[in-house]
């Protein structure tokens, strides 16, 4: 029975988390694109130029971060919430802070901010998956006689 909680936790974190994070980001960024086209008369090529060439797929980063934090939550590692906040800060500082700070065009700052929202959504699923995994650990420890 605890194995079902473990598998379920990993499934929620890695599969459902990946899917819903992607859908959420596509929706958020789609709304930003609509408004940028409407208000600032931005063309699709501007969005392509903004994102540039992706050297490392973002889904790989998301999968690794969800797996890592799912395990930390599952085993109730002290400081996990702080580590999540530090991770969000590091990602924003290395990838998007320059855009948010220096960019004059509002839509570019909002696109960069959407990365923060995507990370928060992703880590939410790591948290939920980790708590499910942790429940499986609780079942084992309740049945174990020391």
The whole model's pTM is what? 0.82
Distances (CA, A) of 111 to 40, 82, 83, 102, 140: 14, 25, 24, 14, 44
Question: How far apart are the C-alpha atoms of 36 and 30, rounded to whole Å?
Answer: 10
Radius of gyration in angstroms for the set of CA atoms belonging to the chain, rounded to a whole number: 19
- The full length of the chain comes to 146
pLDDT of residue 110: 83
| Total structural domains within the chain | 1
Of 4, 22, 9, residue with least CA distance to 128: 9
**pLDDT of the chain along its 146 residues, tens only?**
678 888 999 999 999 999 999 999 999 989 988 888 888 788 777 777 766 666 778 889 999 999 999 999 999 999 999 999 999 988 888 766 666 666 677 787 788 888 889 999 999 999 999 999 988 877 666 654 44
pLDDT of residue 109: 78
pLDDT of residue 146: 44
Domain that holds residue 74: 2-143
Of 50, 76, 78, 59, residue with least CA distance to 15: 59
Q: Is the dihedral of CA 81, 84, 86, 89 positive or negative?
A: negative
pLDDT of residue 145: 46
């Amino acid at each position: 029975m605890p194995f079902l909680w473990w598998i379920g936790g990993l499934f929620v974190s890695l599969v459902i988390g990946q899917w819903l994070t992607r859908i959420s980001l596509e929706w958020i960024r789609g709304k930003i694109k609509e408004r940028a086209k409407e208000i600032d008369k931005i063309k699709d090529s501007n969005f392509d130029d903004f994102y540039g060439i992706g050297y490392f797929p973002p889904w790989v980063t998301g999968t690794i971060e969800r797996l890592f934090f799912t395990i930390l939550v599952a085993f109730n590692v002290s400081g996990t919430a702080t580590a999540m906040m530090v991770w969000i800060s590091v990602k924003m500082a290395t990838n998007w802070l320059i855009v948010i700070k220096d960019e004059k065009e509002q839509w570019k700052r909002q696109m960069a901010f959407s990365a923060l929202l995507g990370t928060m959504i992703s880590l939410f699923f790591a948290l939920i998956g980790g708590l499910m995994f942790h429940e499986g650990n609780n079942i084992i420890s309740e049945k174990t006689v020391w």
